[in-house]
Chains A and B, each alone.
Chain A
Amino acid sequence: AQSVTQLGSHVSVSEGALVLLRCNYSSSVPPYLFWYVQYPNQGLQLLLKYTSAATLVKGINGFEAEFKKSETSFHLTKPSAHMSDAAEYFCAVRLSGTYKYIFGTGTRLKVLA
């Protein structure tokens, strides 16, 4: 069965530090992968997507993610955290042939001053 695993339900980083949010997927075929961000009391906003065109994907707000097939990972990074990055981040996968997204359990990012 297709699934997405996000390691770490809560991650804290200092302002200016590297942000690393982990996402691993299980799929027998190449998936389509997404990262969404949810700010308090708001909906899901697309950060970036992987659709097999390039393994390193750049998104909005300085975030990027690298697809590593050998590790079945799609970790989200940002070189320098900003206070405004505090939010919940969701990794999602869409299998070829279906249109539904399967979401991970989310990682709440806290940025410390």
Chain B
Amino acid sequence: EPEVTQTPSHQVTQMGQEVILRCVPISNHLYFYWYRQILGQKVEFLVSFYNNEISEKSEIFDDQFSVERPDGSNFTLKIRSTKLEDSAMYFCASRGIRDRNQPQHFGDGTRLSIL
């Protein structure tokens, strides 16, 4: 069964550095999402992306965050200047377009640790 893949599985970065988290969504999917889960807390929506633009974002997704689909297969989340509170598990998800009720399919996540 096709799946969403995320790399790296664990990223350690110094505070203030830029970090890029990578995702390869399921190949025929056209809606893409990022969520995060701070340790011990619930999964929170960050942003949704469709047709090369952000369709929805949360208040967490401030100017430090950006998303991009640089080619036909990758979907990236960039944090420009990381803060300690950015430490979390980041999940990428994708969804097909044919049926609006299709569920989102999630990757295994990238654990981001800010030192």
What is the interface of chain A, defined by CB distance below 8 A to chain B? Answer: 32, 34, 36, 41-46, 49, 51, 90, 92, 98-106
Contact = CB atoms under 8 A, between A and B. Distances in A.
A103 B101 contact: no
A46 B105 contact: yes
Nearest to A48: B103
A100 B56 contact: yes
Chain B: number of interface residues, binned into ranges = 20 to 34
B75 interface: no
Task: Count chain A CB atoms within 10 A of each CB in B35, B43, B95 and give the residue with the most.
Answer: B43
Nearest to A53: B101
Given A42-B108, A43-B108, A44-B91, 11 more contacts: A32-B101, A43-B6, A44-B43, A90-B42, A99-B56, A100-B33, A100-B48, A101-B104, A103-B35, A105-B41, A105-B42
B42 A36 contact: no
Interface string B39-57: 0011111001000000110
Contacts, number: 51
Contact of B106 (A36, A105, A106): A36
B101 A51 contact: yes
Nearest to B108: A43
Contacts of B106: 36, 43-45
Contacts of A51: 101
Closest 10 CB pairs of A and B: A43-B108, A44-B106, A103-B43, A100-B45, A51-B101, A105-B42, A43-B106, A103-B42, A46-B103, A99-B48
